[in-house]
Amino acid sequence: MSANEDQEMELEALRSIYEGDESFRELSPVSFQYRIGENGDPKAFLIEVSWTETYPQTAPIISMNAFFNNTISSAVKQSILAKLQEEVEVNLGTAMTYTLFEYAKDNKEQFMENHHPVNSMTSISNITSVETPNPAPSSKKKDKKEQLSKTQKRKLADKTDHKGELPRGWNWVDVVKHLSKTGSKDDE
């Protein structure tokens, strides 16, 4: 069989195996992504496998450059890719995309044992630092409202109704100016 026939058969098999699987995504007829782990799992990662012209006689291109993997350190990514590459060498000459995805699923814990989310520490410290000063600005805003003079308060009250909303037609001068500049169809 030619490489193209092998690819067509594997493509059909992948589509039937992963039909309805939310973790699997066909990017093109020769490029596939699979999410190892559940959504929200800090140890979940995404593998992308792309077939070359001569696949399966030659190795597919395996990538972990997806945005989904941005919290995984490059050392862990390299480790996972090296282990997947070993699996590729064993299966060279046969359809291996399904095998690679299953191998990654079976060995997820081993792959991610040294994983420490890169951005999680900074986001936790950001959350802490953001939450700490929040009460102070809200009290400052209250102070600013209390500092209005009686005259300022009266002017504010005169502009709005008792609900704090502007009365209907408050910007009629702006509307008239706009219509006079654009010219309505009635003028023609």
Q: Please report, in tens digits, the pLDDT of each residue of the chain (188 residues total).
A: 666 888 889 999 999 998 888 889 999 989 999 998 888 788 888 999 999 998 888 899 999 888 888 888 888 888 889 999 998 998 888 888 989 999 988 888 888 887 776 654 444 433 333 343 444 444 444 444 457 778 877 777 777 776 667 767 767 777 777 788 886 555 55
pTM of the complete model? 0.57
Q: For the chain, what are the domain ranges?
A: 3-112
Cβ-Cβ contacts under 8 Å for 109 (sequence gap 6 or more): 43
- The domain made up of 3-112 has a fold known as Ubiquitin Conjugating Enzyme (3.10.110)
52: exposed, middle or buried (Cβ count in 10 Å: 0-12, 13-18, 19+): middle
| Residue 32, H or E segment | strand 31-36
